[in-house]
Structure 1
Amino acid sequence: MRKKKLAISPLLFAPFGDPPTVFISEDYSNRKEISTVEVKMVPEPLLLNLAHSDSSFLTFSSDNLYGYSENDSDEPNAVFENSASRMNIPFFLDNEHFYGYFFDHSLRSLDFQRKALRYLLADWIANSGLMPIVHSSFLAVTYPRPSLFDVDKIYLINLERRNERYL
């Protein structure tokens, strides 16, 4: 929360072509433009700076809002957004670092999500080589030591061609 904002959300990417949590622009999504921008809707996940003096005005319960109409939505996000707008509290989106991926579980079946996540991890390993899966801008990346598993040499045998030698 070094940004000194009350409500800020990291930009998360949707790996399977699903819509991102908040779309700003192509340059912003591709991180060609790096900044913290104000957005109108509540992005998820949202980080709240509880040390900020205005944080006490935010609520998820409609009972805590004076004059909240019964016709208005009782959904916690709608109530939260209403409490923020009453106090002129803006929401911000940040893409300074790569924060990870967002999986909208309501768009796809659980079986599809499991398969897609396996393919995502396999592609990630294939493209990045042997390295830790977790990417962090705060933790140092460590690589495993090359090993021959206590064997002097390792040979790759093409079993498909092996039958041709006997002919």
Structure 2
Amino acid sequence: MDFDFTTILEAKKAKNWQLLNESSLSRIWSHYQRATEDQAGKSGFAMLSAFKAGRTRKENMAKHRALKATLRAFGLGYIEVDGVWTPVGDDTESDLPQKERSLFIIGITPEQSAKLMAAYDQDAVVIGNNSKVTLVFQSGDHINLGPFMPNTLSQAYSKIKGKGFHFEWVTQTHTEVLMSTLFG
């Protein structure tokens, strides 16, 4: 189904939450497709959170609002999503999955994404640009992610009103981390 502005506006007025959820996921899918088909790198996106384990909810919400204000100041659009991230390799944080508010940011460059990741003290950011989707870590390491996978879970995933999605990737290391997290 195509979701034009009129359809979305009517769904909002009618409080048709299912249609609105589908339209948000459809928009993310559309931006993902553009970014992965764009050899010139002009249709980038990122998924980033300002939340961090160890901060209070109040602190995390303040950082989240500040990130949204920064994006608006740069003229960047975003879609709010509920995210889950499992911190890896940091003894000061829990190794259990952490719920967090995340933003699917539209039209952002990899350089802007990396600066925001550092500014908001995040472990990693998902960047879609130049026909690929990559998980980039603060250290500079990166993992090429596979295709967009709606309604599935991973070490890091996002949800829009209960509909999960992530970018498919599995490595031996991350599989072992997940198994040890789940089964001790």
When normalised by structure 2's length, the TM-score is: 0.21
When normalised by structure 1's length, the TM-score is: 0.23
Higher relative contact order at CA 8 Å, sep ≥6: structure 1 or structure 2?
A: 1
Q: Which has the higher helix share?
A: 2
